[in-house]
Structures are given as structure tokens and as C-alpha cells.
Amino acid sequence: AVHDTEQTIARNRLLPVVVIDDAAAAEPLADALIAGGLPCAEITFRTAAAADAIKAMAARSEMAVGAGTVLTVEQVDRAVDAGAKFVVSPGFAPAVVQRCRDLNIPVYPGAATATEIQMALDAGLGTVKFFPAEQLGGAAMIKALAAPFRQVTFIPTGGVTTDNLGEYLALPSVLAVGGTWMVAADLLKNRDWAEVTRRTRAAVERVSR
Ligand code: 3PG
């Protein structure tokens, strides 16, 4: 399972980060992402609707759905029970990482420094979320961090858009980029699925250029 998820993320190279207030929006959102050519999403535990939204999306066999903003072991368990196939955290929490390892679910903790990358390595991980990517120095910072950590891959997230994702994906150490821009809050609020599909398709096209 670890393998499948990593391959899906590596193949798509894009990870929409979703903040969803109403689980009823999960199904049309999945449709909109699939229509845009991107059958994956990270549903963040920033809202009470997260677990139900994961459940609704996980029911779609073509969707690789994971949980984001996972801060506690209890959230890991709720995410996995709901059908999440991977877990993302903004930072490195040893207990969260350990629970994911015990459950054999891929986990991408946030890392912003060399020390945090070493914590991930010590925990047996090979991929970290680089967060917040733009504010930390963007692709140039990842390039510098990748020099000593040759085996580590990164999922930069934070300030990434279709306009700058090419700088990140040009780096061999970047597995995929994440961000909210394809599924921005106003689009979800207004149920603007056509615009979600349009932005998703634009990003997918940019990735394949
Ligand atoms: C995240 O949790 O990954 C960030 O909120 C995404 O940042 P963005 O909104 O700048 O894409």
C-alpha cells in the first residue's frame, strides 16, 4: 500500500490541499478533480468535516485520498478509519509518525530545516513535506538541502501555484508539489466546480510540459 500511494503521488506530481467545511461537497469536488485529470487530494483536519469528506472521497476507487494537517495520534486513527491512504503533517511530530509507521500508512511530515530532515531520516522516512515552501526560500532552498540529503525527496507546499510549480518540479529531489490554489476556499464556498476543474487541468498541463 505504501508503494501504490507513493507511486500515485509521484506520477501525478500534484497534490491538491483541501480545506472543506461541508462533507457534502466532497463528491462533487472529487468529480471536479477527476475531470481535471488529477485523481488525488489531501483533506486537511482543519475542519470538522474532514473525516466524513475523506470517507466520501475514499469510496471512489480511482481517488488517492489522504489526510492533511494531522497533528495527533487520534487524528491518524480517524483518518485511517475513514479510508485515508496517506497522512501529511505541517511539522514533525514523533508520535504521529510512529503511529503511521505502526499502521503501515505513508506519512509525509513537514520539514523546514536540515535538523527536521534528519529527524525524518531517523524515523525511517524518505519523503518530507517542505513547508512553507515559498516562504522558506523556494526551489533554491530545496536544492541546497538536497545536496547533503541525496536520498530524500520533497513535497514542497505553501505558496505554490501553476506559475511557480515548474521551478520545483525541475528538481530531481521534488516528488510532487502541493497547494490549495486548485481548490481555493472561495471556489469550494461557491461550489464553483468548473473553476476547480479549469485550474486543475491548467496545473496538470503545466506539469506535463
Ligand atoms: C498546507 O497546509 O499545505 C498549506 O496551507 C498550503 O499552502 P497554500 O495555501 O499556500 O497552497
Nearest to 14 by CA among 173, 176, 127: 176
Integer Cα distance of 35 and 183 in angstroms: 13
Return the DSSP state at 172.
Answer: T
Going by alpha carbons, the residue nearest to atom 3 of ligand 1 is 157
Best residue among 9, 14, 15, 17 to mutate for probing ligand 1's pocket (most ligand atoms within 8 Å of CB) is 17
CA 175 from centroid of its chain's CA atoms = 11
| Active site residues per annotation | 42, 129
The number of distinct structural domains making up the chain is 1
Binding site membership of 180 for ligand 1 (Cβ less than 6 Å): yes
Residue 145's nearest CA partner among 123, 182, 120 is 120
Residue 82, H or E segment: helix 73-82
Q: What angle do CA 83, 94, 57 make, to 5 degrees?
A: 15
Local confidence pLDDT in tens for the 209 residues of the chain? 556 888 899 999 999 999 999 999 999 999 999 999 999 999 999 999 999 999 999 999 999 999 999 999 999 999 999 999 999 999 999 999 999 999 999 999 999 999 999 999 999 999 999 999 999 999 999 999 999 999 999 999 999 999 999 999 999 999 999 999 999 999 999 999 999 999 999 999 999 98
In this prediction, residue 1 carries a pLDDT of: 56
Task: Kindly report the protein residue whose alpha carbon is nearest to atom 7 of ligand 1.
Answer: 158
What gap in Å lies between CA 38 and CA 18, rounded to an integer? 13
Atom nearest to 157 CA in ligand 1: 3
Residue 92: what pLDDT? 98
The helix or strand, by DSSP H or E, that contains position 80, with its residue range, turns out to be helix 73-82
Beta bridge partners of 129: 110, 155
Domain, as residue range, for 44: 2-207
What's the confidence (pLDDT) of residue 206?
97
Strand 14-18 relative to strand 177-179, pairing: parallel
- CA-closest residue to ligand 1 atom 4: 158
Q: From the CB of 159, is ligand 1 less than 6 Å away?
A: yes
Predicted pLDDT of residue 64 = 95
Measured between alpha carbons, how far is 160 from 164 in angstroms, rounded to an integer? Answer: 6
Encoded amino acid at 203, one letter: A
In the prediction, which pLDDT does 3 show? Answer: 62
Helix (H, G, I), strand (E, B) or coil at 91: coil
Which pLDDT score, from 0 to 100, does residue 22 have? Answer: 97
| Cα 143 to Cα 120: distance, rounded to the nearest angstrom | 18
Helix (H) or strand (E) run with residue 85 in it: none
**CATH number of the domain encompassing residue 133:** 3.20.20.70
Residue partners of 31: CB distance under 8 A and separation at least 6: 193
